[in-house]
Structure 1
Amino acid sequence: MNWLGIGKKRSQFGKYLDKKSITQQEVAEGSGVSKSTISRLCDPKGHEPSLKNAKKIIKFLKKHDPIINYSDFWDM
Structure 2
Amino acid sequence: MWWKNPKRSKFGKWLDREGITQKDFANHSKISMATMWRLCTDKEYVPGAMVLKKVMKTIRTIDGSKKAHDFFDI
- TM-score (normalised: structure 1): 0.86
Once residues 58 and 34 of structure 2 are traced to their aligned partners in structure 1, the CA distance between those partners, rounded to angstroms, is: 17
Deviations 1:9-68 (A, max 9, x none): 211000000000111111110111111101111114411111110110110111110111
Q: Unmatched 5+ residue regions in structure 1? A: none
Counterpart contact for 2:10–2:43, Cα < 8 Å: no
Once residues 20 and 52 of structure 1 are traced to their aligned partners in structure 2, the CA distance between those partners, rounded to angstroms, is: 24
Match runs of 1:54-69 below 5 Å: 54-69=52-67
Bigger drift between 63-72 and 44-53 goes to 44-53
1:12 aligns with 2:29: no
Task: Report the secondary structure of 1:16's partner residue.
Answer: helix
Aligned residues: 73
Q: Unmatched 5+ residue regions in structure 2? A: none
Higher helix share: 2
